[in-house]
Amino acid sequence: MTNAMLYALHGEALDHALAQRFTVAEEVLEIAGLTIRVVKPANADHLISEADYVQDERLPYWADLWPSARVLAATLLREHGQGKRLLEMGCGLGLDTIAAMHAGFTVTSTDYYEDALHVARANARRNLGREPEIRMVNWREWPEDLGTFDVVMSAWVIETVDSPAIAVTEMLRVLRPGGLVAYSFCSRPVRRGDRWRTGPTRAVVHALFAGHFLRQEQTPFHDCASSRWSSFGRQFPPAAHARACG
């Protein structure tokens, strides 16, 4: 079945088609009192494509459930999104899409892997009985017709692209005045003395968000391969703000 044909499928028909593309597994999550069932490729390594990597060092990060996505989902579930548009950059398996839709946001989920878009909307329907709007988006060739949003969110994207500045710039470009940027990333590895490895990403966040990372004593600890997370915030005029875990 071609990628174009997948767009016409929904519900069980889509689930069946995806199961034909790769071996799937289900993971049940409990986040902020909500049970979320996520169907995902059983092994993301099996999706690695040499052609994709040669093209732009692309790897199928979308096919894993990252701790950064779980943290962002818990945050979203505390929001009140009724009447607000939300854009997700890099929807992956759809965990944060589901959380945002459950919170009442009208969600547009984007990714540059088509399989991610279909898995995300299948998971949304599985948990909520409805799907988000989806768009295939490459941050290097940002579509002009995407519009603007009250919230732009992303988990573990900036540090996976070759030009973090492009991703951050586009997040801000589609944000409405007074809008919210919600971003989380896992600053691996964070063994003492290895923090330099996250320097490029943190530098972009500092420069383009013009914000600051909170002191360690203000930062919650999360289990991510023994890594620590930092929090980030910036006040956008007139009333917007950004949050991130790094």
Domains within the chain, CATH numbers bracketed = 3-245 (3.40.50.150)
Tokens describing residue 85: 């548009």
Residue 53 vs residues 25, 106, 131, 217: alpha-carbon distances, Å: 25, 33, 30, 39
Residue 168: partners with Cβ closer than 8 Å, 6 or more residues away: 158, 204, 205, 208, 209
Number of Cβ within 10 Å of residue 10's Cβ equals 13
Number of Cβ within 10 Å of residue 121's Cβ equals 24
What was the pLDDT predicted at 182? 81
pTM of the model: 0.80
What are 29's strand-pairing partners? 36
What was the pLDDT predicted at 197? 54
What was the pLDDT predicted at 3? 78
Return the exposure string of 142-163: e unless at least 16 CB atoms fall within 10 Å of the residue's CB, then b: eeeeeeebbbbbbbbbbbbbee
- Cis check for the bond before 189: say yes or no (omega within 30 of 0): yes
Number of Cβ within 10 Å of residue 24's Cβ equals 15
CB 182 within 8 A of CB 242: yes
**Segment-wise mean pLDDT, segments of 10 residues, the chain, 246 residues:** 87 95 96 96 88 74 86 87 95 96 97 95 98 90 89 80 75 84 62 54 62 40 32 33 39
